[in-house]
Amino acid sequence: MLSENPAPIERDAQGSKAVKSARSTQQPTSRPDPKSELTLRLAGLAVGLGFWVAGVLPVFAWCGPVGMLPVLYLATTEKARSKQLAVAGLYAGLAYTIPQLVALRMHVITSLILLAYMVILMIVLCIGSGFALRQKGIRAAFLLAAWFALFDWVAVHALPIWGAAQSFARPWSLYNEFIAFTSVTGIHGIMFIEGLLAGLAVKMIAEPNKRRFAMTAAATILVIAAADLAILTRPPVDQFTIGAVGWTVNDSAAEQGCQTEEAFKNIYAAGVRLAAQQGARLVVSGEMGFYIYKNTRAEWLARFAEVARSNDVYLAVGYYDTGIDSNRFMFIDPAGEVLCEYVKTYQTPFEPGIPGTGDLQIIEIDGVKVGGMICQDDNFTDLTRFYARQGVGVVVLPTADWQSVKKPHMQSSIARAVEGGYAVVRGAANGESAVINSDGDMLARMDHFDQGPGHVVATVDIHNGGTFYGRTGEWLVALSAALLIVASVRHLLTQND
């Protein structure tokens, strides 16, 4: 019986020896390297501050992708895995959001929601970038490009408080000649190009065969430049002169916009007259520029009709109908007749009024199709693309902004003009009145906070037929999502093998 025991004892000894051997080959558990942790935090801060600087000072729009480079480079190394990249994303979210909340001074609940949302987004951005860049060669750069485009789409649509104004590519609207290609791709195409070039840059540092990465980057820039040139050199089919009248409004008795008879005459009617004398066929005024009550509606309509008839001009009048709690504008023809009205569809947080149903309106003036939205509406591409599909040449945009959002909102208006291939004219009751050409050129602009009441007039180019993006929508985002799904499935299959 004793002879039956040695084999189990030997197996136990071998098993024990094997466990001991396995343990001896394991790396000893160590605390995180303080220098590495600090590097990740600083890299995360660079991401957040880069995007924040780009948003505040659009002339530095390039700070967004440049600020990403440290995290992207770390993502190519074995030291920066998902957990470490999440730390970088946390710091990126805080650095990006907190300065904005201080400047915007929004409602506390809105601020907290925005803070949590942006922190989560930045964490996801950094982790996803790590997955893309751990692939080999050129494929990693294209996966990063796809990830950037999809991420930007999610940032706009997951919690659409301000819609497309939440795009991280918005500051590039200052360089409208460089982003003409977004009439094909939409604004998320900018993030695709940012991701592609940034991915090529970090791979050029981290991997051999640098010439291949450099040639791909050069080819990308040449393709975008050629596309921009082709789009910008299209001849217009017509031209149209348009104007806007704007002023400021606050709660003081001394400054209540054009609500009084004297202000209506000296600011609004006088502004329309001057714009018409300069050739404007249509004059736009600001969002909620007039408050119309049920018992005063006939009186207000008679005033507007007189202004239209006396100047032989079309009007787009923004007003608030207190009787039905509705923020809207109406088109009035030179005969003084109301042609149609539109109700604001997308409201800002805690904004009063009953939202509309997205029933967009189109009129025709001298053979030019003219549509319209109100303020926040131009941040939502389901509305803006409708006008591109219909071949509209001009979109009116009665607007009311506060100081801290007037510039970001103007950037969005420029981006929508480029995407849609139509001119945008903004009349502002608070904020900036402007005439923006269909290529994004700022033809006329007046900041009523700084310059007081006044008017702007300019002649815009008309391009009928809309744009490829207007007709097809987010095709680039769909393609990016497909690329990432294929890469993920391939990665899982490789892991299983």
Average pLDDT over residues 394-416: 94
Report the SS3 class of residue 304.
Answer: helix
Please check whether residue 176 is in contact with residue 424, taking contact to mean a CB–CB distance below 8 angstroms.
no
* Cα 268 from Cα 483, distance rounded (Å): 53
pLDDT in tens, 177-219: 999 999 999 999 999 999 999 999 999 988 877 889 999 999 9
Instruction: State the pLDDT at residue 34.
Output: 58
**What's the count of helices (H) and strands (E) in the chain, helices before strands?**
17, 13
| Statement: residue 31 has pLDDT above 60 | no
Mean pLDDT of the chain: 90
| Beta strand segments in 286-337, E | 290-292, 314-321, 326-332
232/218 Cα distance (integer angstroms)? 21
Q: Can you give the pLDDT at residue 292?
A: 94
Q: Is the C-alpha dihedral spanning 305, 306, 309, 314 positive or negative?
A: negative
Task: Find the range with the poorest average confidence among 25-34, 213-222, 334-343.
Answer: 25-34
Q: Please, what is the end-to-end C-alpha distance for the chain in angstroms?
A: 46
Cβ burial, residue 34 (10 Å; 0-12/13-18/19+): exposed
- pLDDT top residue among 438 and 109: 438
Q: Are 424 and 310 in contact (CB under 8 A)?
A: no
Query: Per-residue pLDDT tens for 239-295?
Result: 999 999 999 987 443 446 788 899 999 999 999 999 999 999 999 999 999 999 999
Distance of CA 154 to CAs 112, 123, 159, Å? 19, 13, 8
How many angstroms from the chain centroid is the CA of residue 105? 20
pLDDT of residue 78: 62
Report the percent of the chain where pLDDT is more than 90. 76
Q: What is the pLDDT of residue 180?
A: 97
Instruction: Find the range with the poorest average confidence among 77-91, 123-137, 157-171, 293-307.
Output: 77-91
Position 79 pLDDT exceeds 70:
no
pLDDT in tens, 82-118: 888 999 999 999 999 999 888 777 778 888 888 999 9
The backbone torsions φ and ψ at residue 457, rounded to the nearest 5 degrees and listed phi first, read -140, 140
DSSP bridge pairs for 457: 243
- Report d(CA 238, CA 144) in Å as an integer: 41
Average pLDDT over residues 218-223: 96
Only one residue has tokens 């904020």, namely 431
pLDDT value, residue 418: 97
408 vs 200: CA distance, rounded Å: 30
Contact 64, 51 (CB under 8 A): yes
Find tokens 């202000």 and name the residue: 263
E strand intervals along 186-313: 238-246, 282-284, 290-292
